[in-house]
Each structure stands twice: as structure tokens, then as C-alpha cells.
Chain A
Amino acid sequence: MTCECQEIVAFRDITKIFPPGILANDRVSFGVERGTVHVLLGENGAGKTTLMNILYGIHQPDGGTIVLRGKEVRIPSPRVAIELGIGMVHQHFRLIPNHTVWENVVLGFPRVPRFFPASQARQMIRDLSKEYGLDVDPDARIWQLSAGEQQRVEILKALLRKAEILILDEPTSVLTPKDVERLFLVLQRMKEEGKTSLFVTHKFSEVGEIGDRITVLRKGRVVGTVPRGEADFETLATMMVGEKIVLSLPKKALSPGRPLLRVEDLWVLDDRGFPGVRGVSFEVREGEIVGIAGVVGNGQRELTEALAGLRSPLRGRILVDEVDITAWSPQKVREAGLAYVPEDRRMALVGDLTLAENLFLRDYRKAPFRRGILVDWKKVREHAEEMIATYRIVPPVPQLPVRLLSGGNRQRVALAQVLASRPRVLVVSNPTAGLDILATDFIHRLFLSLQEEGVGILLVSGDLDEILALSDRVLVLYRGTVLGERKRPQSGWSEEDRRDIGMMMGGVPGERLVMVR
């Protein structure tokens, strides 16, 4: 089965060192078989993207070779990579928003007639679309397209350039579950055509569905390559992290108490002046985690910022423990007991200030940190040391600038900032975006223990796995309205619930839809 001739790409001892001596890839060796979907699994910083950038000619290896179709090759630039039949869909799309689909697809493409290229380009796109099930309107402009459609354009670009090997870097991170399904169908179709896909991801939940073989990278090294079906999630997670991981969270069935946060018919304008939140109503009870699911850009930011007092609602009311806090200032909202941890950490933290300064930032005006017009720096330091110990922030150095911390530790700082004053309601937005498994696990467990203490948590996240793992109730936000609601069954979420929520994230109300008010 695994004879040499079947290997379309082989990495041999690829080493890449980024100055000042960071080993991004350390003697990486593995083979990719022709006509398969090969998953490259690893945490952030494991070296997956670096390796793919080497294959695509963006980086040059410091050691080792790439063997393509049995021959050693050197790939000095993406242009050469394309000539060799390698295509790449980057995590952040490389498309020109104001141009049409066909213009983007043929940009830099040599075989386009000089005059009146549109009709031919359209035809080429239509043919390819049909062949691979990549439907997209050639005359639509990129900015009009959803993330899923834009990704299809990127794939079309690669296929038109006769890519036999398609690299997809974290392709599912911006997609709805429905779009993920469609992407998998496309990859299946490509497989049938004998094309090879290299699928880079850090989500082990999706590898079982799509990967024929899975190579796990950790800290720049290959931990192992396993065929589909030979490793379960826990094994893969353990391989990724390097220590035994218990993935199941200790989610208890609690009976929620009185409502702590009540939102009534809330309308909020977005930055362009259009209603981003349109008549949303819900409540969060004592000791309850309510998840807001939805694809990014469906009103989540407007909703959370209105709750935090950063954005005045157009209409509607927000009540914390029966106190109307609508359009209060962020500071007063916080004093009323609602704590907000924004997704954008530049909003929570000041990178150039120290850990200690950031940890008392939200309370700097209050005792014991303030004595008249002076800051009591001794108290600030003591507080910082306490928070660093409680939330196990690393490195435990109060005078370190926060920008030197890792993402996971920065998020701990952001949580410690608001949790120090014991809020009753916690509003968090994508709390684990970009974090590794251990940091994510720490934060998830923290939420569950807060829930046990009776804190009401509103968890806004684009990651459906996260929502389902933590929430007692899930609301789906779509184009600024709550499209539906699901309550966690006694037995935990079923596949059917998951599918329904996924459908609603794409704008399709599920059959068992329960409309909220």
C-alpha cells in the first residue's frame, strides 16, 4: 500500500530555524500519499503553517529536502510551487474585495486572452465549479460573498492553475458547520480526481471526518502519523499536547436560580449605522451558562458591547438583577455587577503596561489602590501577586509588560481583571480564540467553577464545540436576531441538536425550532 511511487510529497528532515534560534520545524519527515486527504494536526505554534509555507515556497528550509513525485525539488518561491502543481488556500484569504470573482481568479494567470477576457474566464470558472461542486457566481464581487464562498474562490484559483496538491491552512476556522460539510464534499470530489489535499488544523474533532491519514506535530517535531480510525480524540489530543488530557469537562446539572441578566427587545446599531442587533431578548439566570452561537459578524460584537456599556442601544432594556443599566457607562455597568471580557484583548489589556498595572486597571479608582490623588503601588503589587497565584499566570513577574505574555496568559489576565471584584454576571466573547488546548481547558474549567458559585455567564463564541461543551442553553444569533434556542437535555447534546444549531448558524431555522418571543 505505501510504496514509494504513491508518495506525491515527502518531507525529509525539514528543519527551519527562525532567528534568534526558534526551532519552528525540527527534522520533520513524513510522506503524503497521492489522492488522499492528509491532515496536519497540531497546536498553535507547532510549526504546521511554517512547514506548509516551506512547501509553498514562502520560506526556505534551513535543512532537509522536499521530494515531489519521487524527485528532490527546490521551491524558491510560490510561483515555482504553482508551476509544480501546488496550490495553497491561506487562513486569511488573499482576495481583492472590490474585484469580481472572475477577476480575482484570473489575476496573475498567464493563459487569459488580452482582450475581452471575461467570457472565457467565466466559462472556465463555471466548468470547474460544476466539476467540483464549488458553486459561486463569477460576477459577484468578493465583498458580497460569505467566508465560505470566498474560500471556494480561493480553491478555484488553485484548481485553475492545475494544482494537484492543495494546501488548506485552518480552512474551517471561519466557516459555518454547513459550509464545512460542503468543503468536505469538495475535498472528497478532488480525491476522486486523484488530487491530494493537505489539511492543516488544530481541531482534532474534524480530522476523523475528513483525514485519510493524520500527522501530528508538536513543538516543530512529528509525533507520529496515524491512519484514520486508529486513533481516538483523546489519543490525538495527548499526542498534540504531550501529556495525558482528560477532555470531558466536569459539567454538572445545576438548577439555575433567579434571572441575573435580562435583555428585552434590544436594538443596537453597528459601526456603519445599520441595526446589528435587531430585537434580541433573553435572560441569564444565577448559575447558568447561556451560549450565543453564530458565525462571526452576526451581531455578537454589537450585542456584547451594548451589554458592557460601550455602545448605546437604539431601543430596548438591559437589566442586571432587576436594575436597569441600559446605556450606563462601562464603569457603572461593572459596578452594577456585570463584567465584560472582550474578544479584542487590546480592549481589555494595555500591552505596554505591566502585568501589575493591567491587573488593577479596572479598579484603579477604588480603595485600596487609591489614596487621595496617589496610587498605592504596594497594594497594586500585592494584588498582582495574589491574582498571578490564583490564576496561575506565567511568567509570574508583576513588572513584566503584558505584551510579552502568551495568548493564554493574556486571557487569564483579562479574566483576573474583572473577576477580582466578584461580578454576578460575566459576559465573555470568544474567550479561547487562538489559545492552545491546555489554556482553553483552564478557562473552560474556570467558567464551570464560576457557574457553581452562582455566576451567570453569557458565552458568545463562534466555536460550536465550545458552546456545546459549556452551555445550559444555546441561542443562535443570525443577522442580529435570535433564530432559535435549544436547552441542554439531561443526557447531554445529541447529534440532532448539534445539526440543528449548525443549520441555524447558516440561517436555516431547524424543524424543532422554538422561537423566542
Chain B
Amino acid sequence: MRLRFQVTRRLEPSASMVFFVSVLSLLLAFLVSGLLFAFLGISPLEAYRVFWRGAFGSLYALSETVKRMIPLAIIGAGLAVSFQASVWNIGAEGQMLIGAIVGTWVALFSPLPPSLLLPAMFILGFLGGALWGAFAAWCRNRLAINEIITTLMLNYVAANLVLYLILGPWKGKTVRGFAYTDPFPQEVWLATIGTTRVPLMTFLFAFLAALFCYFLLTKTTFGFELRVVGRGEKAAHLAGIPAQRVVALVLFLSGGLAGIAGVGEVSGIHHMLRHPAHISLGYGFTAIIVAWIARANPLGVLASAFLFGALMSGQDALKVAFGIPFQVMYILNGLVLFFLIASEQLLYYRVTLRVAPWGEKEDECDRVLD
């Protein structure tokens, strides 16, 4: 007799199961992070306390969390739609920067009257990000190039475009040689909620984007089409669903939402175009995880975006409080991802410990229910 682990397939993980396992994996990630802090000579308990205070501990902390949640939620909602269609848009970072560039152009260089500037920034910013995404769709549909490659590479194109503009033609005349543009006119600065630094408009956009994407996915014919394309391309073909059009529209929409997030950052937070790493803080990449954790459900994205916003602001607090190198934060993020992704297996497989009868092979792998 000996004990042995047995792995069996679970058919449908329930919603509470998903929640429970996700929370558990987060707790585990924090537990292991504690070890890391101990190695750095920081008391883990103290680190947890600083983290908590930095993410939720005060109105300021909460507003820092929400400030980061906004772009994550807007981009994540669009990515949720694209993942539902099995379109792997990992170019939200670039699409967001293009939105920021277009918004900056409108704010600084367009001949529009001041009252029209802000609407034009968001509309054209949406179009900019949308076309940046649609270009990848065109490559996929016409040239059969995988959208993962194109969207990823276009990120670097967009980032270097920003660098070129802020170092070259758009370099500010009033910024004493720094690599910024001039600040935007006051008319296009987004109003913030109370004394916080959270822009009210983009805060509302985050909820609107999530609701819109949810409505699109669940209530419309197009949402049904894209879910069929995402789950069975052959069946979509037989049902007469134009898969190429679906791919194009999905990349257009998710790119456009990323573009809106980019406009939101420059007009709501920075009031200028500056280094890509400052505009984005990696929102376009983090939003991929946000959408994935939410199982590509746009309403779930709101919750997971808040969670990752908290992770980001909590880590900022840690950085400041202990003066630890920022690379440590990558390790923390890595741990969170590691546990979340590993827990995926727990959702679909049940692991039980049982007593193996005599003679059973150690490595026997029982396959059950294909």
C-alpha cells in the first residue's frame, strides 16, 4: 500500500471555484513574496503592511489604485472581446501610445476651437488606436501573418514613434531641454474627482467600456458571431460567418479602446506627451493578464483591473518605503502570474490523494473522459 496522487479532469469549474482558487493563488504569491523580503532583510509582515497601506490604506492610496485601474479596465474590456474571438491582440501597448500621440496632436497642433478639442482628442484617439490594430487584422486577413507577431512588433514601432516626436519635431519649447512636448492647454485637462488625481471622465469610461463590451458579447448578433469564430472556426465557416470581418472589427474595437486609454493618460494625468514608459507603465501588457484573469468577461475585467491597480500602487509604496530596486517588483509580478497560471490547472483537474492498491504502477496515467 502506498499513497498516491490522482489527477482527474473536472468538467465545468463553477464561478465560486474560479474565485476561490484565484484568491488562494494570490495569497500564495504573497506568502512566497514574504520569503523574498526576508532575504532582502525586510520583515515580511512590515512589507505586507506597507503594501496594504499603499494600495488601500488611505484615500490617496485608493485613488492611486483607481488611477491605475482605469487604463487597465478600458484596455482589458477590449482585449476580453478580442480573446473571446481567439484574436490574440498583444499590441494594446502600442495602440494606446498611438492614441496618446493622436490626442497630443489634437491638443497642441490642431486648429479646432478649444471647446471641441477634448471630444476630438477622444474620437480621433480611438480611431488612431483602432487603425493601428486594424493594420494587424489586414496583415492577418490579406497576408496570413499571425496577429500575435504583428501586434507585438507594432508596439515597438509606436514606442519609437513617441520617442521620435518628443525628441524631435514635437519637443517642447518651454520645457528646458527635457524630452517632453509643451504642456496641453488647460481646456483639455480632465477634471479630477474631488482632491484626488483620478480623472472623472475616464473613470466613467472604464465602466462604460466594460458595459459596452459585455453588451456586445452577450446581446448582439455580432457578439455571437465572434464567440463562434473564437471557439470553432470550421463551424463558423459552415454557418456562413465572415471570420475575416470579425477579426478586423475585433482588432479595430480593442485597438480603439486602447487608444482611448492613451488619450486618457495624456489628458488626465500627464497633460503632455512624454517618454512611452511614463505614459503607459506597461498598461497594455498588464491588461492582457487582466482580461485573462477575468476569463475574458468584460464585467470581470473591472474587478481584475482593480486588483492589478492595487498591485501596482502597493508596489510603488514598497519601492519608496524600503528603497528596494524596482527589478524586485518584476519578481513580485512574476510570482503573482506564476501562481495564477499554475492554479488554472486546479480549475480543470481535481487532485486527490488516495491509497494505491498493490502492484499499481507509479507512473500510470489514467485518462478519463476525453
Chain A interfacial positions (CB closer than 8 Å to B):
18-20, 22, 59-60, 62-63, 74, 76-77, 308, 310, 329-332, 334, 340, 342, 344, 346-353, 357, 361-362, 364-365, 370, 373-375, 377, 401, 404
Contact = CB atoms under 8 A, between A and B. Distances in A.
B22 interface: no
B364 to A, nearest CB: 6
B144 interface: no
A347 B368 CA distance: 24
- Most B CB contacts (10 A, CB to CB) among A59, A330, A361, A370 go to A361
Contacts of A404: 11-12
Contact of A19 (B227, B240, B366): B366
A353 B359 contact: no
Contact of B222 (A342, A347, A373): A373
27 contacts: A18-B367, A19-B366, A22-B368, A60-B361, A76-B361, A330-B237, A331-B240, A332-B240, A334-B240, A347-B232, A349-B232, A350-B232, A351-B231, A351-B232, A353-B227, A353-B228, A357-B228, A361-B235, A361-B239, A362-B239, A364-B221, A373-B222, A374-B220, A375-B220, A375-B221, A375-B224, A404-B11
B240 A329 contact: yes
B239 A401 contact: no
Given A76-B361, A373-B221, A373-B222, A340 B227 contact: no
Given A344-B234, A347-B235, A347-B238, A18 B368 contact: yes
Given A20-B350, A60-B361, A342-B238, A357 B224 contact: yes
A19 B232 contact: no
Given A18-B366, A20-B350, A346-B234, A60 B360 contact: yes
Contacts of B357: 62-63
Given A62-B357, A353-B231, A374 B238 contact: no
A20 B221 contact: no
A384 B114 CA distance: 55
Contacts of A365: 221, 240
A19 B221 contact: no
Interface residues of B, number: 32
B6 interface: yes
B326 to A, nearest CB: 40
B174 interface: no
B238 A340 contact: yes
Nearest to A335: B240
Given A20-B8, A350-B235, 15 more contacts: A18-B367, A19-B8, A19-B352, A60-B360, A62-B357, A329-B240, A340-B238, A348-B235, A348-B238, A349-B235, A352-B231, A352-B232, A353-B231, A353-B232, A374-B221
Contacts of A22: 368-369
Residue among B6, B219, B221, B223 with the highest chain A CB neighbour number at 10 A: B221
Which of A60, A310, A332 has most chain B Cβ within 10 Å? A60
Interface of B: 6, 8, 11-12, 219-225, 227-228, 231-232, 234-235, 237-240, 350, 352, 357, 359-361, 364, 366-369
Contacts of B221: 364-365, 370, 373-375
A347 B239 CA distance: 9
A364 B237 contact: no
Nearest to B219: A374
A346 B237 contact: no
A346 B227 CA distance: 15
Most buried by A among B12, B223, B231, B364: B231
Contacts of B12: 401, 404
A20 B368 CA distance: 8
A59 B227 CA distance: 39
A431 B239 CA distance: 19
Contacts of B228: 350, 353, 357, 361
Contacts, number: 93
Nearest to A373: B220
A337 to B, nearest CB: 15
Nearest to A18: B368
B227 A330 contact: no
**Closest 7 A-B residue pairs measured CB to CB?**
A331-B240, A350-B232, A19-B8, A347-B234, A352-B231, A18-B368, A350-B231
Nearest to A305: B238
Contact of A60 (B219, B227, B364): B364
Contacts of B235: 346-350, 361
Most buried by B among A310, A353, A370: A353
A352 B229 CA distance: 11
Given A22-B368, A350-B231, A76 B359 contact: yes
A74 B238 contact: no
Contacts of A60: 359-361, 364
Contacts of B11: 404
Nearest to A24: B368
A71 B6 CA distance: 31
Contacts of A347: 232, 234-235, 237-238
B321 to A, nearest CB: 46
Nearest to A329: B240
Nearest to A308: B238
Nearest to B357: A62
Contacts of A59: 364, 366
Contacts of A401: 12
Given A350-B228, A352-B231, A74 B240 contact: no
A343 to B, nearest CB: 12
A340 B224 CA distance: 22
A361 B237 CA distance: 11
Contacts of A18: 366-368
Most buried by B among A60, A342, A350, A353: A350
A74 B359 contact: yes
Contacts of A362: 238-239
A332 B222 CA distance: 19
Given A19-B366, A74-B359, A364 B239 contact: yes
Contacts of B8: 19-20
Contacts of B367: 18
Instruction: Pick from A310, A331, A340, A401 the residue with the most CB of B within 10 Å.
Output: A331
Contacts of B364: 59-60
A329 B239 CA distance: 10
A282 B350 CA distance: 54
Contacts of A334: 240
A76 B366 CA distance: 14
Most chain A Cβ neighbours within 10 Å, of B235, B350, B360, B361: B235
A285 B327 CA distance: 74
Nearest to B8: A19
B228 to A, nearest CB: 6
A344 B232 CA distance: 12
A220 B369 CA distance: 16
Contacts of A346: 232, 234-235
Contacts of B240: 329-332, 334, 365
A448 to B, nearest CB: 26
Nearest to A400: B12
Contacts of B234: 344, 346-347
A238 B94 CA distance: 66
A478 B225 CA distance: 38
A246 to B, nearest CB: 32
A349 B11 CA distance: 18
Contacts of A375: 219-221, 223-224
